[in-house]
């Protein structure tokens, strides 16, 4: 006797059928495949480790044989501009040189630019990043700008999107020196403590780059922290202030305020120590360079004359900044100037020369591009030489006759004992020495070149404690002596690269500071190491 199913029964039957079907599809991986097709996940990020920084200094940005970059042609041709050069800037002390040269933002005949260089300049404050890019895309003839600000690390990220404009970097107006910083809570004393912590920063910005640099040099990778990405640096500081993350990378003054306002908050590291990492640069549109090269040459000359004036008269410069930027008082302006270093003409030349400074445009561009590529933010690869045009810098030499004189070292190091100062981070490197010897072979030198020279150059203002360590094989006294001799050898090598001897503190720990057990081969191998401790001044 067949029984009619009730409507409810029918629904239940259909539902259980569907559930079975769904389970089956899931069990045999069909669902996952469908999901991967309909809604694929983001492309997996690669692991960024310390090996991604510090490309060997010999090879950056070599122009391949048979290629003549446009930037080798002499400056000439084109016409003089009949309107002011329009430049996008933000509220930031790094523009002091140009502001002094222009005596404010508005085009001004009665200024260094106008009187000495016969060029008119208009500085436009566009604090919103995307708006400034819109203005650059529009161009100076169409109400936008001819020149925009960038940082080398951000420029390598956005170059692909702007490549059709054939933009070229041509001037470095500042190094961030404290302008970017990492605020951390009380529990974090060094970079290694960030493992497993929540770290906030604005994605795909100089903050992000700084974070990656600090993490990797301190022995972590991008996978060792829990990232909390924000749209802007200000939000990253706010998230930290709200107590929702353990650390945040942001810029001045927000990051310092956030560190102060959160209980136990402090600054772990800033670009005051990582002094040669975030380089602010000007980028001009390709058509502007093509049409008005003489104006650009004069712009470079005038700006760098302004830098000389600004560096010589910090008080007057601060007053002018306070007057020019809206919402910035005199004290703020002084603080803004302390967060930057304005490179001179000679320093600019060294910066854009692939063989110039140890941390230069080419090394930073190449390194940062590699890192963005690894985490899936950059697809097309450009060589640094394609993105830069130094002809204007070279052609401005007539105004800077003293530039060829050797410059004084930027940072003065004293041999004062650093005592027990806590390092911001410790980079541990295994350098191979023959048994019982303190001689560096070519292999060891190559390791130092890639792992340490960049570290020492980037943390330009910081002291570096070089500590040799051994395993427990042999007598402690011999090991102690040997580890010190090896640290000395490393130091001598670094000094030969052009560093001040007083930058380094040499320590021989012998077997006294093991990081692993001396009972196994692997443990002993780990203990035979050199620690590079970055110490703030």
Partner 1 sequence: MTGVREPVSQRKARSLALAGFLSFLAVWCVLSYGGILPEVILPSPTEVLRAFPALHFEEALVRSAGWSLYRVGMGFLLSAAVAIPLGLLMGTFPKVKHFLAPLVDPLRFLPISALVPLFLVWFGIEEAMKIMLLFVGTFVYLLPLVVEAVENVEDVYLQTAVTLGASRGQLVRHVLVPGSLPAIGEALRVMNGIGWTYVILAEIVNARYGLGHLITVAGKRSHVDQIFAGVLVILFIGVVTDWMIRLANQQLFAWKR
Per CB under 8 A, residues contacting partner 1 are: 38-43, 129-130, 133-134, 137-138, 154, 157-158, 160-162, 164-165, 200, 203-205, 228-232, 235, 238-239, 241-245, 376-378
- Distance from C-alpha of 24 to C-alpha of 88, rounded to nearest angstrom: 59
Closest CB to partner 1 among residues 302, 384: 384
Closest CB to partner 1 among residues 36, 446: 36
CB of 255 to partner 1, least distance (A): 14
Q: Residue 104's closest CA among 268, 299, 326, 269?
A: 326
Using CA of residue 356, residue 357, residue 362, residue 366, what is the dihedral sign?
positive
Helix (H, G, I), strand (E, B) or coil at 471: coil
Q: Residue 531's closest CA among 485, 473, 487?
A: 487
CB of 156 to partner 1, least distance (A): 11
Closest CB to partner 1 among residues 378, 444: 378
CB of 43 to partner 1, least distance (A): 4
CB of 254 to partner 1, least distance (A): 11
- Tell me how many degrees the CA angle 243-246-247 measures, rounded to the nearest 5: 110
Classify 166 in phi/psi space as left (phi over 0), alpha (psi -120 to 50) or beta: left
- Asked if 359 contacts 277 with a C-beta cutoff of 8 angstroms, the reply is yes
CB of 108 to partner 1, least distance (A): 30
CB of 89 to partner 1, least distance (A): 18
Closest CB to partner 1 among residues 262, 503: 262
Distances (CA, A) of 164 to 161, 411, 495: 8, 40, 43
- Asked if 284 contacts 295 with a C-beta cutoff of 8 angstroms, the reply is no
- DSSP secondary-structure letter at 48? P
Helix (H, G, I), strand (E, B) or coil at 273: coil
Closest CB to partner 1 among residues 117, 372: 372
CB of 44 to partner 1, least distance (A): 10
> Structure tokens of 312?
């010589």
Q: How many CB atoms lie within 10 A of CB 380?
A: 10
Closest CB to partner 1 among residues 40, 419: 40
Closest CB to partner 1 among residues 31, 165: 165
> Structure tokens of 34?
């469908």
Helix (H, G, I), strand (E, B) or coil at 50: helix
């Amino acid at each position: 006797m067949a029984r009619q199913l009730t409507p409810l029964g029918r629904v239940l039957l259909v539902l259980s059928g569907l559930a079975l079907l769904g389970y089956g599809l899931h069990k045999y991986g069909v669902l996952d495949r469908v999901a991967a097709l309909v809604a694929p996940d983001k492309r997996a990020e690669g692991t960024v480790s310390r090996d991604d920084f510090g490309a060997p200094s010999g090879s950056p940005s070599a122009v391949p044989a048979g290629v003549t970059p446009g930037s080798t042609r002499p400056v000439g041709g084109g016409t003089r501009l009949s309107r002011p050069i329009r430049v996008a800037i933000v509220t930031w002390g790094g523009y002091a040189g140009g502001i002094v040269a222009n005596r404010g933002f508005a085009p001004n005949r009665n200024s260094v630019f106008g009187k000495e260089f016969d060029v008119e300049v208009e500085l436009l404050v566009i604090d919103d990043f995307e708006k400034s890019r819109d203005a650059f895309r529009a161009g100076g003839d169409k109400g936008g700008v001819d020149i925009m600000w960038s940082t080398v690390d951000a420029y390598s990220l956005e170059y692909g999107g702007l490549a059709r404009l054939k933009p070229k970097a041509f001037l470095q107006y500042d190094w961030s020196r404290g302008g970017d910083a990492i605020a951390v809570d009380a529990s974090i004393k060094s970079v290694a403590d960030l493992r497993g912590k929540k770290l906030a920063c604005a994605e795909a910005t100089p903050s992000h780059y700084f974070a990656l640099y600090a993490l990797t040099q301190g022995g972590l990778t991008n996978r060792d922290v829990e990232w909390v990405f924000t749209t802007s640096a200000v939000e990253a500081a706010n998230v930290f202030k709200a107590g929702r993350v353990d650390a945040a990378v942001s810029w001045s003054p927000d990051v310092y305020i956030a560190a102060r306002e959160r209980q136990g908050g402090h600054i772990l590291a800033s670009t005051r120590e990582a002094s040669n990492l975030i380089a602010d640069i000007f980028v001009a549109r390709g058509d502007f360079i093509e049409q008005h090269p003489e104006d650009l040459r004069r712009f470079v000359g005038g700006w760098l004359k302004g830098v000389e004036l600004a560096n010589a008269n910090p008080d007057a410069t601060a007053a002018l900044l306070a007057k020019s930027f809206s919402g910035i008082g005199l004290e703020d302006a002084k603080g803004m100037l302390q967060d930057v270093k304005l490179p001179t003409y000679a320093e600019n030349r060294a910066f854009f020369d692939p063989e110039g400074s140890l941390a230069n445009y080419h090394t930073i561009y190449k390194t940062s591009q590699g890192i963005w590529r690894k985490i899936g933010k950059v697809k097309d690869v450009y060589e640094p030489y394609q993105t830069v045009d130094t002809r204007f810098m070279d052609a401005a030499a007539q105004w800077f006759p003293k530039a060829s004189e050797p410059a004084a070292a930027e940072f003065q190091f004293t041999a004062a004992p650093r005592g027990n100062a806590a390092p911001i981070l410790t980079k541990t490197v295994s350098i191979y020495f023959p048994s019982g010897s303190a001689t560096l072979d070519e292999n060891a030198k190559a390791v130092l070149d890639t792992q340490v020279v960049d570290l020492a150059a980037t943390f330009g203002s910081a002291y570096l404690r070089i500590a040799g360590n051994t395993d427990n094989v042999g007598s402690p006294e011999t090991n102690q002596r040997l580890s010190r001799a090896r640290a000395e050898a490393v130091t001598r090598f670094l000094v030969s690269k052009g560093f001040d001897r007083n930058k380094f503190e040499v320590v021989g720990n012998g077997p006294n500071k093991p990081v692993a057990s001396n009972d196994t081969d692997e443990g002993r191998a780990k203990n035979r190491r050199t620690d590079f401790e970055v110490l703030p001044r």
